[in-house]
Amino acid sequence: MPTATGAYEIHSEARGPHWIAWVSRDGSGKPERSVVLVAETRELAEERARRWAEQTSY
């Protein structure tokens, strides 16, 4: 389920034994710059995506 934060949305889903998260900015739900972040938990994956989005804000 996407989580809106400012001008972007964080998406996440389970993939096997880990979670992936990505940022979309145009409402399409597709990963911004094709970047997908991997982590052990949903919370950690979403936090990594949030940090990535904040660092790449323009």
Residue 35 CA to residue 11 CA, distance in Å, equals 12
Rounded CA gap, 18 and 28, in Å?
Answer: 24
pTM: 0.84
pLDDT, tens digit, for every residue of 22-57? 999 988 999 999 999 999 999 999 999 999 999 987
How many domains does the chain fold into?
Answer: 1
Q: What are phi and psi of 31, to 5 degrees?
A: -60, 130
Query: Which uninterrupted H or E stretch holds 54?
Result: helix 42-55
Q: Which domain does 51 fall in, by range?
A: 3-55
Report yes or no: 8 and 47 within 8 Å, Cβ to Cβ: no
Q: Is 6 a residue whose pLDDT tops 80? A: no
